[in-house]
Amino acid sequence: MSFLQILRQRLAGNESRVLYLAMLTMGASGLAFEYTLSKISGDILGNSVQQWAVIIGVMMFFMGIGSDVQKYVAEKNLFDAFVFLETVLALAGALGPIVFIYIYGLFPFHFVLVQYFFIIAIGLIIGMEVPLVSRLNARFLPELRLNLAAVLKMDYIGALLGALAWIFLLVPNYELSRVAFLIAFFNWGVALISLYFFRRQVVRGRLLAAVNLLVGLTLVVGFFNVDRWRIDAEQYLYRDRIVYSHTTPYQHIVLTEGRNGDISCYINGHLQFYSGDEFIYHENLVHTVMNAAPVHANVLILGGGDGLALREVLKYKDVRRVTLCDLDPQMTQLAAENPFFRGLNRDALNDNERVKVVEAAVSPGESYTVFSKNDKYLWRGGYDSVATVHVVNMDAARFVERISGMYDVIIVDFPDPNAPDLAKLYSKTFYEHLRKKLSRDGLMIQQSTSPYHAREVFLSIGKTMRDAGLSTVPLKDNVPSFGEWGWWIAGRAENYSPGRIKKALRGIKNIAVETRYLTAPLIRANLVFPRDALNDDDIRVNTLGNSVIYHYYLNAWQNE
């Protein structure tokens, strides 16, 4: 006896239960499809908050339209319409993400048309589901209040289960394009089981069976080939050949290789570094503060999961301990294992004669101890010859709140504040926590986007740091891949004045380690800004409550 025959036998006389199971599945898959299309749109177009809000809003609007359209389906065709719509929804939901990537690469000016065609179509179908199932269930449970209560209850429970599965099961373990196919299999299964169980009520059974079979074969083929399709589609988005593409629970990472062998790294479509000039950025980020700070035995790097800032820090023989905190464990793993990253960061995240790498786990609610009694080099001489690198994967804001101890140098290498969740890492509250972690003579440096292309962002960062009790000095240099770029170097206001920081920078006679680009005279030159470039009278301080820096960022780069 087949599985479907056993299922039919078990459910005989319980037709409503079959429909409730279908409604539960549809509620879960419908919400998961909404999330998937919103996420892929945010990854492609940026401004993820806007994409999520607009897409889900549009979908819900057309769900309302769909609930009205279903009234034109004749009673005799209810089962046919239900099976057909579920089959079409499975196909559209599965192919949506991969089609989005192809269209954006090939026909970017027509992307929005295709994007909203899928969104509207899926919204209409999802909207037709609940009233169709209610009408079908009325044949077995005619009392309206009981019918609606049962159907809507299963829909809402399914939505919760779909949200939890999408967040905690699907996205952490599968690429987004593969997630769409996994969700689609549930809709296809609902159509298949309904077609079999209610086959006597279906008018066009053979035609629907053929369509269902064809869609099922398409889903199977797509599931096993979607990774190749995704990379082929993404290739249209990049000039150079893609050599690595992977979506983590936090971001989408792409590496490309040019004809000359240079590597570019993109995160969510934004260029993070180009191997041909990344050393200009990272030498400014690291060596400026390392040569200005009187002590740098204990260093904190926030962000920088690629290991490139760490590479520069480890050039200093008196560095004894480095704590690297990056949100994404797959990024630090990639930096430690991928041959392209390892070549660029010189194995900074691998155990060797100079470095001992320790992965440190911090549980929720647990504090992280910077110093331990086994650290011989701290305060009592007995310097160890090996620098210990502690890699911590967690949200930097939470990490800074929990760590104990002090740092001689703090290097902040976050992405630009191009999303609301990144804006908190540039807030007054965050800098107040960082200030408390600086030692008496400690200094920190913050990458601060472009003082030319995003002037308001740059100035807001400096003003926010000062409002948090830090003395600040701005720096700028030209990084060919990004244009003019800026940094703020800072110390605790009670220990440093801007004049003292400038004196330390201007007093650098030679860079203490070997560099490819940066020199002491260039550091002094980077202190010079054009007239009125640093006038921040109209600039607001960024706080957790206003996220003004995110709005500054959107205005700056949308106008470019």
Phi, psi of 439 (to 5 degrees): -70, 170
**pLDDT value for 380:** 32
Do strands 407-413 and 298-303 pair parallel, antiparallel, or not at all (unpaired)? parallel
Residue 159: partners with Cβ closer than 8 Å, 6 or more residues away: 27, 28, 30, 31
Kind and range of the H or E element at 68?
helix 48-69
Residue type, 394: M
d(C-alpha 7, C-alpha 148), whole Å = 25
CB-facing half-sphere around the CA of 255: CA atoms within 13 A: 17
Residue 172 in tokens: 């952490």
Question: 407 with 439: CB under 8 angstroms?
Answer: yes
Residue ranges of domains in the chain: 3-235, 242-271, 273-558
d(C-alpha 133, C-alpha 16), whole Å = 10
3-state secondary structure of 323: strand
| Burial label, 469 (beta-carbon count in 10 A; 0-12, 13-18, 19+) | middle
Q: Which long-range contacts does 230-238 make (Cβ < 8 Å, 24+ apart)? A: 230/98, 230/101, 230/175, 230/177, 233/98, 233/101, 233/102, 233/105, 234/101, 234/105, 235/105, 236/102, 236/104, 236/105, 236/106, 237/101, 237/104, 237/105, 237/269, 238/264, 238/266
**Could you report the per-residue pLDDT of 323-343, keeping only the tens digit for each?**
999 999 999 999 999 999 999
**pLDDT value for 483:** 93
Place of tokens 């600039």: 539
What is the CATH code for 3-235? 1.20.1250.20
User: What number of residues does the chain have?
Assistant: 560
Instruction: Identify any residues that bridge with 232 across adjacent strands, giving them in sequence order.
Output: none
d(C-alpha 263, C-alpha 558), whole Å = 27
Look at the domain 273-558 and name its fold. Answer: Rossmann fold (3.40.50)
Q: What is the DSSP letter of 239?
A: S
Question: 420 with 389: CB under 8 angstroms?
Answer: no
Return the closest-CA partner of residue 487 out of 510, 514, 458, 509: 458
3-state secondary structure of 207: helix
Whether the CA torsion 59, 64, 67, 71 is positive or negative: it is: negative
| Burial label, 368 (beta-carbon count in 10 A; 0-12, 13-18, 19+) | buried
Question: 409 with 444: CB under 8 angstroms?
Answer: yes
Terminal-residue alpha carbon distance, the chain:
66
Place of tokens 């893609």: 242
d(C-alpha 364, C-alpha 133), whole Å = 43
E strand spans, 230-354: 241-247, 252-257, 263-267, 270-274, 298-303, 321-325
**pLDDT value for 50:** 82
CA of residue 25 relative to chain centroid, distance: 28
| Burial label, 494 (beta-carbon count in 10 A; 0-12, 13-18, 19+) | exposed
Return the closest-CA partner of residue 404 out of 298, 290, 327: 298
Q: How far is CA 248 from CA 171, 172, 268, 329, 555, in A?
A: 8, 7, 11, 9, 28
**Could you report the per-residue pLDDT of 137-180, keeping only the tens digit for each?**
888 888 888 888 989 999 999 999 999 999 999 988 898 999 99
d(C-alpha 115, C-alpha 100), whole Å = 6
Q: Catalytic residue positions?
A: 413
Residues 333, 339, 340, 345, Cα dihedral to 10° = 70
User: Cβ–Cβ contacts within 10 Å for residue 468, how many?
Assistant: 21
To 5 degrees, how large is the angle CA 296–CA 297–CA 299? 70
User: What's the pTM value of the predicted model, to 2 decimals?
Assistant: 0.84
Phi, psi of 253 (to 5 degrees): -110, 130
User: Which residues of the chain fall below pLDDT 50?
Assistant: 12, 364-365, 371-385
